[in-house]
Structure 1
Amino acid sequence: MGLDLRICPACGDRADRPVVAGATLSCARCGHEWPFRKLPLFALTGPSGAGKSTLGPLLASRLAGEAVVLEQDVLWTGALRDDVEAFRAVWLRMAAMLHQNGRPVVLCGTVAPPEFEPLPERAFFTEIHYLALVSAPSSLRARLRARPAWREWDEPRIAEMLEFDDWLRRSAPELGVELFDTTEVPSEAAADHVEKWIRARLP
């Protein structure tokens, strides 16, 4: 069984759109079928400045041996910055490969269901659970302004992130996204909440 689930282990063909039935993959070229581990993916999302990067290391420590916690921005580089859909697809492929080791992935990064759900790689997961960290606009603005210069948070970019926070709050019910407001919540208490949310959904 190969780790890249798009590649047939029998003939080596690479599928642009995987053929999935339950937890079995099929090769459209040679007809070979093989099983794979189909696990849930946890998307810890929300606007920049709401606390995802702070909670990531805390969750990695707390969930060690049970889940793999990853920071989305580590792949926000090179050609992937110019093709957001490819960036999302690569992350789903990476998470699916990690799932073949038997542990679900918690992906920390700014994403919304319309960016993951239509992708062919969505078929590799049982569910994608979305929890969005949000925060008061004044708090987000202050946190983003305080970031180091290399992160390039100018005022127009901050305004875009505040708009995303507002859209996410309004759209969450119809998108199936749960919200957690971190404005007045200490990091450890926020980690308690997110850890409990993940554990309640672990397979």
Structure 2
Amino acid sequence: MGLDLRICPACGDLADRPAVAGALLRCARCGHEWPFRKLPLFALTGPSGAGKSTMGPLLAARFAGDVVVLEQDILWTGALRDDVTAFRSVWLRMAAMLHQNGRPVVLCGTVAPPEFEPLPERAFFSDIHYLALVGSPSSLRARLRARPAWREWDEPRIEEMLEFNAWLRKIAPELGVDLFDTTEVPPEVTADHVEKWIRARLP
């Protein structure tokens, strides 16, 4: 069984849109069927400055051996920065590949359901659970302004992130996204909440 679920292990065909029935893949070219591990993906999302990057190391320590915690910005480079859809697709393929090792993935990064749910690679997951860390506009603005210059947080970019924060707060119930406000919450307490949220949804 190959780790890249788009590639048929029998004939080597590369599927643009995988044919999935339950936890079984079927090659459109040769008809070969093979099983795969279909696990839930956990998307820890929210605006920049709300605490996602801080959660990464804390969650990795708490979940060692149970889940794989990844930071999405590591692939925000090269041609992927010019094609956001490809960026999202690559991450879903990577997560599905890691799932074949038997451990669910927690992906920390700014994403919303409309960016993942329509993609062909969505079929590789039993569910995608979304938890958004949000904050007050003043707290997010202060945190982003305090970031080092290499991260390039100028005022227009900060305002765009505050708009995303407001949009997410408003539309979260409609999108099926859970919210947690980190404005007045220490990182360890946020990590407690995120850990409990994930463990309640593990297979």
Match of 2:103 in 1: 103
Give the % identical residues: 88
Other-structure match for 1:5: 5
Q: Give the secondary structure class of the aligned counterpart of 2:74.
A: helix
CA deviation after TM superposition for structure 1 residue 83, in Å: 0.2
Aligned-residue Cα RMSD (Å) equals 0.3
Look up the equivalent residue of 1:187 and give its one-letter code: P
Measured after TM superposition, the shift of residue 89 of structure 1 is 0.2
Match of 1:200 in 2: 200
Match in the other structure for 1:30:
30
- What secondary structure sits across from 1:106 in the alignment? strand
| C-alpha separation in 2, matches of 1:48 and 1:6 | 32
What CA distance in whole angstroms lies between the structure 1 residues aligned with 2:133 and 2:169? Answer: 10
Q: Which residue of 2 aligns with 1:60?
A: 60
Q: What is the Cα deviation at residue 111 of structure 1?
A: 0.1
Q: Which residue of 1 aligns with 2:92?
A: 92
Task: Please report how far the alpha carbon of residue 124 of structure 1 lies from its aligned counterpart in structure 2 after TM superposition.
Answer: 0.1
**Cα separation, 1, equivalents of 2:189 and 2:197:** 13
Q: What are the Cα deviations for residues 12-37 of structure 1, in whole angstroms up to 9, with x where unaligned?
A: 00000000000000000000000000
- Report deviation, 1:127: 0.3
Aligned to 1:154: 154
> In the alignment, residue 145 of structure 1 is paired with which amino acid?
R
Instruction: Work out whether 1:51 is the aligned partner of 2:51.
Output: yes
Q: Residue 198 of structure 2 aligns to which amino acid in structure 1? A: I
Q: Structure 1: which 4+ aligned runs deviate by more than 3 Å?
A: none
Match for 1:198: what amino acid?
A: I
Q: Matched residues in 2 for 1:166 and 1:189: separation?
A: 23
Output the CA distance in 2 between the equivalents of 1:34 and 1:15: 14
Which residue number corresponds to residue 126 of structure 1?
126
Q: Which runs of 5+ in 1 are unaligned?
A: none
